[in-house]
Amino acid sequence: MSTPVIILSDLHISPYTLAPPFNDWTQLISLLQKGWSDETALVLNGDCFDFLAQPNRDRFLDLAGAADFVENELNKIKQLPYGEQFFNALTQWIQSGKRIILIPGNHDPELFHPEVEERFRQFLELEGAGELFSIHQKKQPCAMQVGSWQVKLSHGDEFDRLNQVDVAGIHDALSRGLKKCPLPAGSLFVLDMVQVAKRAIHPTSGKRRFPFIDKLKPEMPGALLLMLYLDPVLTLRNLPGLSSTASSIVINALKRDIRAITSGSGFLSTESQLDSEKPSASRQLATALCHYLPREGDSSKTMLYSDLEEWLTDQDEYETNPGMLAAHNGFQRKILRIALRALGAGDRQFEIDTPSKDDKQIYRAYEVAQPKPTLLVAGHTHAARAVEIADNSFYINTGTWTDIVKLPGLEDPEEIQEWIGKLEADQVDTEKRLTYAEITPENASLMQWTPSGPIPLKVFPNPNPAP
């Protein structure tokens, strides 16, 4: 293959108002209609559709109804102001002889069902398109060659323990004729708790209590920790996977998880447990709290864990008013710093050449120098990156087209408190970059789409171009 490849991810297109806000239809359609060279491939690399946003959807992957579900969602998107124009642009892309590959992510896992590909073809009226349209439904990354580039395409959720879609489990369930299979813990958190947070209304102002939640990549631990800081009672009483909403029962479960972790018998103790255990929301919260606590020596660490348990007990005894917190020796301030650290504060979130911990977790699986130039392209983190990770080995993260909240620094308490005030007032600063990747035989580039056209943010010349 010697023609260009265009890669986008994490558009989060959805017909529901509670989904992450995608509102750049005209720019997306403009990109699709730019006039790319013949046979250019378009890859939609996961979470381009947000099927988790459907109100009251099942808490599992409905295998028996997956194809119907996807068709219904696509028809709803088509009814949006620019929806039909978007799908027409996809159809025209195929009809002009160019290829489209869909890669499922953790927000659109129904795309893994083998019947969905044909249903999608019918929806786009692509009868006879052959291999020009496909959905990559394998566990392994999608591989292709562009000139001498050896390209691997992965959404990135397979390296995220809490949000990894069990692709092998889906195929196994289908082979055994099962009608459903479980969703990742992060997806359950989105379905159960985040939906509660999105619908919560302040009793006096009548406004949404947590209007920011969908701008923080809510399936990640940082969003959960921030909710714990802002409203412990609402957070603890709505942890998914717990059969009781009584605060004391929830808090006791959380305390047990914390003790298991800190004693070395729990979720953080060994790599084998990290790989094998499916964390509940309680264990997810306990893990995040313990993992992101400041490391200040063993004695102070033990004191922090003790303070944490005592603070949790206070939440059971304290009737929290809207917008108020149960105070205990300022420990809620530690919760806030833990949340910010988990959200990525201090990770230089908008510096494209500085990989975050999440980026490193994705690309380390491929950090092997190759005789031919190797390129890994991922999404999932919502942070655009372009990094040379080894000799002849490069990594591009295509970011997201949704708003990204600008996080405060961790060193200035006044800056943090100002940020919290803006967050609760839905006035926090955000940034949006319409980023994507473009691969040609000569270059691999992280690009930004603008009303004036594409702008290269980082270009990696092919170190070993084909003759």
Of residues 7 and 282, more confidently modeled: 7
Please give the helix or strand (H or E) that residue 199 lies within, else none: helix 195-199
pLDDT of residue 314: 63
Range scoring the smallest mean pLDDT among 146-160, 178-192, 379-393: 178-192
Residue 420 lies in a domain: no
Q: Tell me the mean pLDDT in the region 431-442.
A: 94
Q: Is there a single domain that holds both residue 167 and residue 19?
A: yes
Res. 227: pLDDT tops 50? yes
Residue 273: predicted pLDDT: 33
Nearest-angstrom CA–CA distance, 39 and 77: 27
Higher pLDDT, 325 or 112: 112
CA–CA separation, 423 vs 421, rounded Å? 5
User: Does 161 share its domain with 191?
Assistant: no
211 SS3 class: coil
Using alpha carbons only, how large is the chain's radius of gyration in Å? 23
Residue 467 placed within a domain: no
- Asked whether residue 325 carries a pLDDT value surpassing 50, the answer given is no
Rounded CA separation 120/108 (Å): 13
Domain endpoint, select from 343, 367, 392 = 343
The pLDDT mean for the chain works out to: 80
For residue 242, what pLDDT is reported? 52
- What is the model's pLDDT at position 109? 95
Same domain as 213, residue 173: no
Q: How confident is the model at residue 208 (pLDDT cuts 50, 70, 90)?
A: confident
Pair 156, 273 in one domain: no
* DSSP 8-class letter at 192: I
Token pair of 213, please?
């939640």
* Tally of CB atoms within 10 A around 462: 21
pLDDT greater than 50 at residue 419:
yes
At 417, is the pLDDT very low, low, confident or very high (cuts 50, 70, 90)? confident
Full DSSP string of 213-266: GGGS-TTSHHHHHHHHHH-HHHHHHT-TT-S---HHHHHHHHHHHHHHHHTTSS
pLDDT at 405: 85
Instruction: Return the minimum-mean-pLDDT range out of 21-25, 222-226, 391-395.
Output: 222-226
Same domain assignment for residues 337 and 189: yes
Domain that holds residue 282: 185-218+220-343
One domain, residues 240 and 259: yes
Q: How high is the pLDDT of residue 442? A: 93
Q: Is residue 357 part of a domain?
A: yes
Q: Is residue 244 part of a domain?
A: yes
Please report whether residue 28 resides in a domain.
yes
Q: Residue 297: is its pLDDT beyond 50?
A: no
Q: Degrees (nearest 5) of the Cα angle 326, 330, 336?
A: 85
Residue 276 pLDDT: 37
Lookup: tokens for 105: 């992510």
Residue 413 counted as domain residue: no
Residue 381 contacts residue 397 (beta carbons within 8 Å): yes
What is the band of 465 on the pLDDT scale with cuts at 50, 70, 90? confident
Q: Is the predicted pLDDT of residue 327 greater than 50, yes or no?
A: no
Read off the pLDDT of residues 364-413 as tens digits, 9 standing for 90 and up: 876 655 667 789 999 998 999 999 988 889 999 999 999 888 888 877 88
- The whole-number average pLDDT for the span 424-444 is 90
Mark whether 334 and 357 lie in a shared domain: no
Same domain flag for 331 and 208: yes
Tokens of 414: 């006044």
Please indicate, yes or no, whether residues 248 and 386 belong to a single structural domain of this protein.
no
pLDDT band at 307 (very low <50, low <70, confident <90, very high): low
Mapping DSSP onto H, E and C, the string for 277-339 reads CCCCHHHHHHHHHHHHCCCCCHHHHHHHHHHHHHHHHHHHHCCCCCCCCCCCCCHHHHHHHHH
The maximal CA–CA distance of the chain, rounded, in angstroms, is 73
Whether residues 205 and 288 share a domain: the answer is: yes
Is residue 62 included in any domain, yes or no? Answer: yes
Using CA atoms, how far apart are residues 156 and 391, in angstroms rounded to an integer? 22
How many independent structural domains does the chain possess?
Answer: 2
Q: What pLDDT does residue 265 have?
A: 46
Decide which of 343, 367, 397 is a domain's last residue.
Answer: 343
pLDDT higher than threshold 60 for residue 138? yes
pLDDT in tens, 336-362: 887 888 787 766 778 899 888 888 888
pLDDT exceeds cutoff 60 at 114 = yes
d(CA 128, CA 125): 9
Which of residues 325, 343, 361 is at a domain's end?
Answer: 343
Give the separation between CA 129 and CA 117, rounded to whole angstroms.
12
- 326 lies in the same domain as 370: no
CATH number at 62 reads 3.60.21.10
Prediction pTM value: 0.85
pLDDT given for residue 305 in this prediction: 58
Domain identity same for 318 and 252: yes
Residue 417 in any domain: the answer is no
Q: State whether the Cα torsion 92-378-19-61 is positive or negative.
A: positive
Cα–Cα distances in Å, from 133 out to 15, 42, 90, 101, 271? Answer: 23, 10, 10, 6, 39
User: What pLDDT, on the 0 to 100 scale, is given for residue 397?
Assistant: 97
What's the confidence (pLDDT) of residue 249?
A: 61
